[in-house]
Chains A and B, each alone.
Chain A
Amino acid sequence: MDSDNVLEIKHLSVAVGDKEILHDINLNIKTGETHVLFGPNGSGKTTLIMTIMGSPKYQVTKGSIIFGGKDIVRLPMDERARLGIGMSLQRPPVVRGVKTRDMVAACAKGRLSPEAIDSLAEKANLTELMDREVNYGFSGGEIKRSELLQLLAQDPDLALLDEPESGVDLVNIALIGELMNELLQKVHPIRDRRHAGLIITHTGHILEYVNARSGYVLLNGRIVCEGDPHEILETIKRKGYEECKRCVA
């Protein structure tokens, strides 16, 4: 394997129950890189990143997921998180009784002082929500920012981001872009970054704020296209996913 790869997915097939959702997926991400997954609803984007994270709902029927040189297919989710994988959910659950502050502290696992957590919260414009229960009554934008705040505290080597911009207004999207750039250490040149990212985007808006190296199109559980994310986005914008289908055919 290429030792620069933080994530290497080989011939991965994934099923939910009896139904195979993903077929023979191959994908490599090097340290410091950000990749983007495009695809219509139901194409398997969320399935792919949930499988990388280790959600028990998704069974790997074939292939391997190598993270930091180690096959993690059999590891439970929490161990994967502790190895350095983090994920922001599109629709995270409300956790009643658990304050956002405590959740962020749990993500930091003692690495951050309360003051450092406060300053991260300020950056995410969430200071006023820190004593509220996690995701309880949060707006769409607040949920996304809270997810990113948790990831910033967790400091994962690989961040999996499921539609970080969906349901977010234009004012918030710039802030979300900033938080993602911080999470993915975009301020540094690629050779100095430790963090990599895999972003699911439906609309591609986030690409106006966050630079990405590679894009993939997922159709019916297969990666059908790989290339420059901006070019892929342009094609999708102009011709829709129909063009991708034709291209594959």
Chain B
Amino acid sequence: MRSIKPDKASKKRAEAAASKPAAFGEDIDLDRYAHSGDELPYHDDPSKLSAETKKQMVQVGVMLDDDSQRSGTIIQIDHSTVHRRANQEGIEVMSTSEALEKYDWLADYSWKAVAVDTDKYTASVELGQSNGYFIRALPGSKTIHPVQACLYLGKRNLAQKVHNIIIAEEGSELHIITGCAAASGEEPGMHIGVSEFYIKRGAKITFTMIHSWSPDIAVRPRTGIIVEEDGVFLSNYVIMKPVRSLQMYPAARCVGENAVVRFNSILVALPGSNMDVGSRVLLDARGARTEIISRAITTGGNIYARGYIEGNAPDVKGHLECRGLMLRGEGVIHAIPELKGTLAGVELSHEAAVGKIAEEEVEYLMMRGLTRDEATATIVRGFLRVDIEGLPPELNLEIQRAVEASEKEVM
């Protein structure tokens, strides 16, 4: 197994932050976990992975038996890249360690969108064994199908650490579906994922991430996105399975004029789940726009749904929408939308609502002949449907599939 070689300066900063708690979320004791894993064999044909593993991966949108609908695939289990393949010219897919060896210039992209000393989790990725994926669209290249990436936690009690770098070169278009999953069961474990996105002038990335963890996993993604002039970043995040502790607050910076960022999140907290999930966008260039939409449902778990938009340039626009549905149980949804404007000419707005299903809507559907259960399911399904502008139908389908697969547990 290869390890990403840290450069001296970032190593020093990481060391200084090695015990720095995160700004939000439960402070996870990293010493509880093993930090290295065995090297796992590489598979030329990923369909040969065990049926159980493949089943978990399918749930998060990663299909290995037939990858004809994918422009590339990369699978990491624990710390090993067990398969990677690009199916399309102009699209590069490889492990981050391999990419750093291949491209000297890549060091310029490492820890530029996410600060290495953000907290002890980012520091641990720099200091310990890690891997991750590198996906890049060359200038003008557009993925025909999504590239799929899977980060799979198989070993009991492992802290899986990844550092992903994704680059859409000028005028390119990249659709990525990332599935993060753990082996089924109740094993403890941790996932720390650093992801750095670079969207160059006129490029577009659609990033769909589906999480399917298990009840004793702690998850700390750390994501930074830099969007240049006329660039577009669309993120869709879905989590509907139990997770002990999840905290993430990806931050996108629109540094070029007319850059666009949209975050959609679908969060379902079953009993025992604790989620602190938000999206942050800094509109730093004229004409930049953003929309942050989150839908949170609790059936007994706890959710902090955060959102932050900052307007720092003329003619920027941002809207934040945060809706929470208390389905049953004693869970908590705490919506924290924040807006900050630092000059005249910014246009920022938000709406937030937390409540139960409106009885009036249930009765309306019952009036049309649906039973109470059918009416409730229809409304919940509708609540979770976020029609995503610019998302290819197959990715939308993937999200709907993830939602429907978990529906029974939610109802």
Contacts and interface: CB of A to CB of B under 8 A. Distances in A.
Given A78-B369, A93-B358, A55 B382 contact: no
Contacts of B370: 78, 106
A92 interface: yes
A154 B361 contact: no
Most A CB within 10 A of own CB, among B370, B371, B372: B370
B366 interface: yes
A6 interface: no
Nearest to A92: B364
B384 A97 contact: yes
Contacts of A92: 364
Most B CB within 10 A of own CB, among A78, A93, A150: A78
Interface residues of A, number: 25
Interface in A142-182: 150, 154
Interface stretch (A35-43, A81-89, A121-129, A221-229): A81-89
Interface string B359-377: 0110111111111100100
B interface, over-half SS? helix
A16 interface: no
B383 interface: yes
A102 B379 CA distance: 12
A116 interface: no
Contacts of B366: 76-78, 81
B379 to A, nearest CB: 7
B381 interface: yes
Given A55-B363, A56-B363, A97 B368 contact: no
A239 to B, nearest CB: 36
A93 B383 contact: no
B371 A78 contact: yes
A27 interface: no
Contacts of B43: none
A81 B367 contact: yes
B368 A95 contact: no
21 contacts: A76-B372, A78-B369, A78-B370, A82-B369, A86-B368, A93-B358, A93-B361, A95-B364, A96-B383, A97-B381, A97-B383, A97-B385, A98-B379, A103-B365, A103-B368, A106-B365, A106-B369, A107-B368, A109-B369, A154-B368, A154-B369
Interface of B: 358, 360-361, 363-372, 375, 378-379, 381-385
